[in-house]
Chain A
Amino acid sequence: MTTHKRITARKKLAMINTVVFSTVLAVFGILFFVIPKNEVSDFEKRKLSPFPQFTMQEFLHGNYIDSIDLYFSDNFPLRDQLVELSFDMKDWRGMKNEEIAFYNASEIQKTPVQDPTKPADTIGDTAVADTVPTGPPGEEVNNLFIYEGRAMEIFGGNCKMAESYARTINKYQTELKGKVQIYDIAVPSSIEFNAPPQYAKQYSTEKKNIDCVYGALDPAIKAVDAHGSIGAHRKEYVFFKTDHHWTGLGAYYAYTAFCSSAGLTPVPLSSMEKKTKPGYLGSLYWLTRDSRLKENADTVEYWKIPGKYTTTAYHKGSETKGFKSSIYAEGASGANGYGVFLGGDYPLVKIESEVKNGRKVILVKNSYGNPFATYLPSHFESVYVVDYRYYGGSLLDLIEKEKITDLIFLNGVFSINTSWHISMVGKVMRGVGKKSQTTTTLDTTKPKKDSILDKKKDSATSK
């Protein structure tokens, strides 16, 4: 009797198992074809894989099919939730050290096409794993170090690179001697001041590197001691915990250092209007999805300078036709929190003030320069903020045309020590877009930003 009971129970169990399993498979499968697809993943800051176009050659190489696989996984139903679960699972694998964690760059940024463990790779048919380049030069993720809820990129620059950066700036001095005053601002990063004492010797090496830059600069160029002025306030909120940028406050201290080099009196913080945006999770959180960072969300603080300004931003390829913009994109939210400064990375932003002193400045920068730029309009008739990565025009032309008096180069130490950035800073002197479009790599490295700008009017993109 009991045996009989057991047999029927097993059979019933088998039926339930089969039905549940097939239903789950079928439901996800059908959902995939039914649900609307997103074009863009905001967290990942990339376009999701579209359905590939068929070409015979791609098909025969297997690339077409690989692209379909990518399309499928990028657009899978509940993908965001499943990704979240996979990061939770990472937490469940063990006990997190609440104090310290390391991330290898290779762990964080995966190559999308590569499946390192296709069965044939390891068993029987040993094939060479195909490696896909991670991305454009100069935009690699660095190794990360998390200490007490603060993520820091591990700095690995060297003096040679730093000097090569300085020589690039020197070329501008040669070109503009006597016409324009040039400033260079080399900005340290979080790890310089926040590495725990036992690691400081190993990780806090940016001062030395910045000295290499400044030592190799033409003496006529004014080297701004941002390191000193930020370092003096290291205990304040000068770097984000979850983002690779400095904060508005960090940029403010660099601005005060700049003022003393440029013979200006900085506007005191107290005479500006302070605004805050809490709950900001920055790039380093989205790279790692580390729960220790999530618990330490940042607050974006910005200070609005007094006065009235007209701001115009220009899209790539239309440097003559600007549109009305603002120094502060107050609607910036979510993963775009840092976009509050200037609204993100436009090739060119022009800010005109009511100041009348005959001084006009160009700030050559990447996203690090955005909060810094917001303080400048108090001291100049016009401020031109040029993102050397995207600007297609020629700086020399712009300087000539607008009668520029001051030229600032501002870069973080990571960019200073990356050859791609150095070469872009050099190329913008005469303009890359004008000369030729031969450098196809450049075009692919430049985000085509219009699509997202159209969607989110004021938050725009941030680095």
Chain B
Amino acid sequence: MVFASLIFLYVFLPLNLALYYITKKANFRNIILTLFSFAFYAWGEPVWIFLLLFSCSVDYLNALYIQKHKGTKKAKIGIVSSVIFNIGLLVVFKYSGFLYENLNSLFGWHLTAPSFTLPIGISFYTFQSVSYVIDVYRGEVPAQRSLLKFLMFVSLYHQLVAGPIVRYSHIANEIDNRKFNIKDISSGIHRFCIGLFKKVCIANVAAEYVHKYMDGDLSRLSTGEAWFGVIMFSIQIYFDFSGYSDMAIGLGKMFGFHYHENFNYPYMANSATDFWRRWHISLGTFFRDYIYIPLGGNKKSAIRNLFIVWFLTGLWHGASWNFICWGLYFGLLIYIERLFLMKILNKVKPLAHLYLIFIAVIGWALFYFTDFSKLLSYLQLMFGQTGNPGWSIQLNLVLQENVFWLLITLLLCFPVYRWANNKFKRMLTRDNFSWMWMLSTGFNFALLILSTAMLAGKSYNPFIYYRF
């Protein structure tokens, strides 16, 4: 199931909230949340739920085993087997096709890859449980004794399919002991509505233009349209992903969990280094804590470590070379920044910002095209190397027809909302309550209804001919 669907919003979520809050028994609530999470997962992927359960059980037992044999060789065996198991899952289910393909072309073999459909969310939940097992091994958190609670942690539908990668240590307390807080619920609702709006009213709209310009016939595209297409993709991926994170964080709050932030206005960054401190934070910190630092961090073979991390970051995003190149592209930029560029960038902040936007947008082109020849023609088009026209009247119309939407989108890349919300909170008193509540509730309501309309609009599918 996906958050941005009518059935989730108007059946699944209210039912889940009602059944969850119908009782005060913690155990019952955990059961409800776990069952709903399974239903959420199985909605699109009825088969892969078993893989999820299997993976959970292995890590659950492993953590207990590690804790029992703390400090001994056996604990080491536990941790190694857990890491191998989780990476193995990823290799088999996510990377086997890619691996076979490369082996075939490298050695001239003719292996046929197993044709799995990718189990949704596998990249997220394997990382969550492996980080949990490592944390137990390191003694940072005690192992979870209750299988139910562990299942709940891994399968929580808030973050199961699209992150953020929630660390067990961050919510360990809340897994065992959540408190009801109406202000949390309300701010969760608020956050959820914002995320929904970002996904449905911004990312989905941008996606239409991405499809139109980046998937279409390149020979008919102007340079301006090529740039517009890839900028739309930069908007789509940011609002899609951060919108999902907002919804996850909001849902968490509705049920008493506090997940860490996953985005911090990445397009405000001044360098590639800065960008990755603000983009998909939970992934960056995962690689930092579980790969980069254990490898030796800045102290031992820093350059090697850097490129290993960026190779893996790229690979994590998908089983294709372009993702690896995209990861290494950022690795290289960060390396250059470390060498000398950062000093220059720090002196010319506005230029530094332009530099970041430029490299991020080029990066997204790299990210978008899994086919290198297509990427190459697209880049040639972007840099006017094809003889296509530079601009088109259609693009003028598109810009004109979307001018307000573009302005709002641009504005939302900056923390305007945070500023407005703080101002709102400071202004709110009992005296002006009568209209302040309307403002706040009306805001949520408007976001919800606009998003609902867009979702309903997506089902509008007209035909020229009657077809019954």
On A, residues with C-beta under 8 Å from B are 2, 5-6, 8-18, 20-22, 24-26, 28-29, 32, 40, 43-47, 59-60, 62, 65, 68-70, 72-74, 76, 79, 82-83, 85-87, 89, 92-97, 100-102, 104, 106-112, 115-120, 122-127, 135-136, 139, 141, 244, 283, 286-287, 289, 445, 447-449, 451-452, 461-463
User: When the two chains form their complex, are residues B400 and A6 in contact, meaning their CB atoms are under 8 A apart?
Assistant: no
Segment 185-226 of B: residues with Cβ below 8 Å from A: 185-187, 189-190, 193, 199, 201, 203-205, 207-208, 211-212
User: When the two chains form their complex, are residues A40 and B468 in contact, meaning their CB atoms are under 8 A apart?
Assistant: yes
Contacts A13-B433, A100-B397, A448-B468: A32 and B186 contacting too (C-beta < 8 A)? no
User: When the two chains form their complex, are residues A17 and B441 in contact, meaning their CB atoms are under 8 A apart?
Assistant: yes
| Complex CA distance for A286 and B124, rounded to whole angstroms | 42
Greatest chain B CB density within 10 A among A13, A44, A89, A117 is at: A117
**CB-nearest residue of chain B relative to A136?**
B467
Interface string of B382-403 (1 = CB under 8 A from A): 0000000000011001011111
- Does B118 interact with chain A (Cβ within 8 Å)? yes
Chain B interface SS verdict (over half): helix
| Complex CA distance for A59 and B96, rounded to whole angstroms | 25
Contact of B462 among A59, A62, A109, A139 (CB under 8 A): A109
Greatest chain A CB density within 10 A among B201, B455, B462, B468 is at: B462
**CB-nearest residue of chain A relative to B186?**
A14
User: When the two chains form their complex, are residues A115 and B2 in contact, meaning their CB atoms are under 8 A apart?
Assistant: yes
- Does B241 interact with chain A (Cβ within 8 Å)? yes
B453: chain A residues at CB < 8 Å are: 82-83, 85-86, 89
B207: chain A residues at CB < 8 Å are: 116-117
User: When the two chains form their complex, are residues A60 and B437 in contact, meaning their CB atoms are under 8 A apart?
Assistant: no
B318: chain A residues at CB < 8 Å are: 124-126
From B10-18, B58-66, B75-83, the one touching the partner chain is B10-18
- Does B51 interact with chain A (Cβ within 8 Å)? no
Chain A interface SS verdict (over half): helix
User: When the two chains form their complex, are residues B401 and A101 in contact, meaning their CB atoms are under 8 A apart?
Assistant: yes
| Complex CA distance for A25 and B401, rounded to whole angstroms | 32
User: Closest approach, in angstroms, between the C-beta of B365 and any C-beta of chain A?
Assistant: 14
User: When the two chains form their complex, are residues B459 and A124 in contact, meaning their CB atoms are under 8 A apart?
Assistant: no
Q: Which 5 A-B pairs have the closest CB atoms?
A: A86-B457, A126-B318, A14-B186, A119-B162, A82-B456
Contacts A93-B405, A94-B403: A106 and B437 contacting too (C-beta < 8 A)? no
Contact of B457 among A18, A87, A135 (CB under 8 A): A87
B4: chain A residues at CB < 8 Å are: 117
| Complex CA distance for A26 and B19, rounded to whole angstroms | 13
| Complex CA distance for A60 and B394, rounded to whole angstroms | 44
A461: chain B residues at CB < 8 Å are: 466
User: When the two chains form their complex, are residues A73 and B428 in contact, meaning their CB atoms are under 8 A apart?
Assistant: no
A112: chain B residues at CB < 8 Å are: 459, 461
**CB-nearest residue of chain B relative to A33?**
B11
| Complex CA distance for A82 and B452, rounded to whole angstroms | 7
- Does B376 interact with chain A (Cβ within 8 Å)? no
| Complex CA distance for A104 and B4, rounded to whole angstroms | 25
- Does B236 interact with chain A (Cβ within 8 Å)? yes
User: When the two chains form their complex, are residues A13 and B464 in contact, meaning their CB atoms are under 8 A apart?
Assistant: no
B450: chain A residues at CB < 8 Å are: 85, 89
B430: chain A residues at CB < 8 Å are: 5-6, 8-9
User: When the two chains form their complex, are residues A283 and B464 in contact, meaning their CB atoms are under 8 A apart?
Assistant: yes
Interface string of B433-468 (1 = CB under 8 A from A): 100110011001100111011111111111111111
| Complex CA distance for A47 and B463, rounded to whole angstroms | 11
B124: chain A residues at CB < 8 Å are: 124
User: Closest approach, in angstroms, between the C-beta of A234 and any C-beta of chain B?
Assistant: 24
Q: How large is the interface on B (under 10, 10 to 19, 20 to 34, 35 or more residues)?
A: 35 or more
Contacts A96-B401, A106-B211, A117-B204: A76 and B461 contacting too (C-beta < 8 A)? no
A28: chain B residues at CB < 8 Å are: 9-10, 452
| Complex CA distance for A356 and B400, rounded to whole angstroms | 62
- Does B240 interact with chain A (Cβ within 8 Å)? yes
User: When the two chains form their complex, are residues A102 and B397 in contact, meaning their CB atoms are under 8 A apart?
Assistant: yes
A463: chain B residues at CB < 8 Å are: 464-466
A109: chain B residues at CB < 8 Å are: 461-463
Contact of B460 among A13, A25, A68, A83 (CB under 8 A): A83
User: When the two chains form their complex, are residues A107 and B208 in contact, meaning their CB atoms are under 8 A apart?
Assistant: yes
| Complex CA distance for A389 and B256, rounded to whole angstroms | 60
User: When the two chains form their complex, are residues B456 and A86 in contact, meaning their CB atoms are under 8 A apart?
Assistant: yes
B465: chain A residues at CB < 8 Å are: 45, 139, 447, 463
Greatest chain A CB density within 10 A among B13, B118, B440, B463 is at: B463
Segment 1-58 of B: residues with Cβ below 8 Å from A: 2, 4-7, 9-11, 13-15, 17-18, 43-47
| Complex CA distance for A46 and B323, rounded to whole angstroms | 41
User: When the two chains form their complex, are residues A94 and B404 in contact, meaning their CB atoms are under 8 A apart?
Assistant: yes
| Complex CA distance for A127 and B404, rounded to whole angstroms | 32
A18-B182, A62-B46, A123-B240 given. 14 additional CB < 8 A pairs? A14-B185, A15-B182, A25-B9, A29-B11, A44-B461, A62-B45, A74-B459, A86-B458, A110-B461, A116-B207, A120-B121, A124-B318, A126-B317, A447-B465
- Does B153 interact with chain A (Cβ within 8 Å)? no
Contacts A9-B428, A24-B448, A60-B46: A86 and B117 contacting too (C-beta < 8 A)? no
Contacts A10-B425, A85-B453, A125-B121: A141 and B448 contacting too (C-beta < 8 A)? no
A21: chain B residues at CB < 8 Å are: 189, 193, 444-445, 448
| Complex CA distance for A285 and B465, rounded to whole angstroms | 13
User: When the two chains form their complex, are residues B7 and A83 in contact, meaning their CB atoms are under 8 A apart?
Assistant: no
User: Can you report 19 A-B residue pairs in the complex whose CB atoms are below 8 A from each other?
Assistant: A13-B436, A21-B193, A22-B14, A24-B445, A25-B10, A43-B462, A76-B6, A83-B453, A86-B457, A86-B458, A94-B401, A107-B208, A109-B462, A110-B461, A112-B461, A117-B240, A119-B162, A120-B162, A139-B467
